[in-house]
Copies of this chain bind each other. A is one copy, B any other.
């Protein structure tokens, strides 16, 4: 490249863009689908029931303890596919780069993307690169869309939830949001905490093998567990009751939340699922989760009742009960 930084010209459809893509991006992500650089990748799939998802990532800063925007983009999309029981297969990768971005930064992000894709056995099949002027994006934004194959008979949805079901988490909650905030300009603080960002498809498969009647699962990203569990209640018309004392929260997360004045239930995770399953499968699900490296801290955190319908109820440590409301707006801006 002519300079060590992204130029507007890298987005112009000319020689520089061609070289950026063929010399810098494709070699990092290289695979048979991406190689021909056609307008569209041609994919051969084995099933005709597909899951399709998309997410843009605008996390700030783009590097944070335990990950970066690239790893986050791959994992976030994989986790949305696996949340409906799909086997993730292909990703798209669209970069919006800010003029002046050091190419070395792009390289590090591409490394994160390649590593996460390899870890999760998915292929980056096609992509796009745009460049905007200095100041018109914070370094970079990334969009990933994903395609997964849904096995026959698998139908995970909050609509399946019934009173008597139990609520599990695959691990500690809030690690990602607090890890990002610890590096946020203006409020940096010292912590040993790292983001939990990880691809969860293998966690989902391990659990489904042991507990095939799992009703639904979802990764509590923006809005945290409060939003996800509240959605479970609203979408099923049941009541989700959570016991505060059972929710696994790392001491570093609890401490930071106290300092920031926020409730850890509203803080994002990027490597955890909240799961609802029938009571008689919950022990099998927990055992399977705990024997997976990404599910060691799995726990039963609550149960589903009939009332109050559509509500999320928290039994507090001091013996009280309170309704947990959806967050109104932004608790922690731009954590993904």
Contacts and interface: CB of A to CB of B under 8 A. Distances in A.
Interface of A: 7-18, 36, 38-58, 79-81, 83-84, 86, 90, 92-96, 125-128, 130-133, 135-138, 141, 143, 145-148, 150, 157, 218-219, 221-224, 227, 268, 326-334
Contact of A150 (B11, B16, B42, B224): B42
Contact of A328 (B15, B36, B332): B15
A143 B329 CA distance: 23
Given A11-B333, A58-B130, 8 more contacts: A8-B329, A10-B329, A14-B327, A39-B81, A41-B52, A55-B94, A56-B130, A137-B137
A235 B182 CA distance: 48
Given A39-B218, A40-B53, A56-B128, A13 B92 contact: no
22 contacts: A8-B329, A10-B329, A12-B333, A13-B224, A13-B227, A13-B331, A14-B227, A15-B328, A16-B328, A38-B83, A38-B84, A39-B81, A39-B83, A39-B84, A40-B84, A42-B49, A43-B51, A52-B126, A54-B127, A55-B94, A92-B145, A132-B138
Given A49-B42, A53-B126, A126-B53, A96 B15 contact: no
The count of identical subunits is 2
Interface residue SS majority, chain A = mixed
